[in-house]
Amino acid sequence: MTLLRARGLARAFGGVRAVNGVDLDISATGVQALIGPNGAGKSTLVGLLSGRIAADAGTIEFDGRDITRLPAHARVRLGIAYTFQVTSIYPRLSTADNVALAVQHRARDVGGAARRALARVGLEPYAHERAGALSYGHQRLLEFAMGLALEPRLLILDEPTQGLAAGEIAGFSALVREVARTASVLLIEHNIAVVMDLADRITVLESGRVLASGTPDAIRADPAVQAAYLGA
């Protein structure tokens, strides 16, 4: 079943078309990856999907509802959560308080929701530590916990493994697989090994357009993708 359907999405900045007529379908469960070279339009596209950037043209439907003009906070209420490419936490607050702030308008038991989310990512022992004192890898996991606490139907992860050690990436991948059993994950990621390991389907962007879309095996074998991005 298709959870999110985008058609003809476009956005320009100063005459430069960052996203140019993109169609995208995201299933209700599983992992869909979005890849492409720097400047391909990936971050702009996820900004359009999450409501942080307004579209110049095109439509976005979520579970059959037109959300094209809905602001980001309204999309969060519908079940779309987005973690940023650059870590976005409140460094002076405790780890638990960061998660509590993320769910304060969504959960009846804010403290319980925060504890459960921290436990899922292995950060429960750090609940009372100042978030800014956490290692970079733990800060990335904290932001993941903030997204999970919202119990999203679609979780958008923008460069989540950036700066993580190999062991941390393995733990992250296990978490994504768990989430994808009951929800949808849109993964924007430069680490191709992670993408090929996790994704059920991959969409490749180039110059704001969809270059290719398909299974990992199909994308790996696509000559146009090899020439534009994979370099093999």
pLDDT on residue 88: 74
Give the domains, in start order, of the chain with CATH numbers: 29-52+70-230 (3.40.50.300)
* Backbone conformation region of residue 151, classed left if phi is above 0, alpha if psi is from -120 to 50, else beta: left
pLDDT on residue 19: 97
pLDDT on residue 92: 93
Sheet holding 57-62, edge to edge: 16-27, 2-13, 57-62, 65-66
Sheet holding 154-158, edge to edge: 80-83, 154-158, 184-188, 30-35, 201-206, 209-214
Q: Measured in whole angstroms, how far is the alpha carbon of residue 86 from the centre of its chain?
A: 12
Cite the DSSP H helix spans in 110-186.
110-121, 136-148, 166-180
* pLDDT of 232 above 50: no
Q: Check: pTM over 0.85? Answer yes or no.
A: yes
Query: 185 has which bridge partners?
Result: 31, 155
pLDDT on residue 221: 92
Helix (H, G, I), strand (E, B) or coil at 12: strand
Cα distance from N-terminal residue to C-terminal residue, the chain = 34
pLDDT, tens only, 89-135: 889 999 999 999 888 877 778 889 899 999 998 899 999 999 999 98
Helix (H, G, I), strand (E, B) or coil at 211: strand
Residue 96's nearest CA partner among 64, 119, 118, 65 is 118
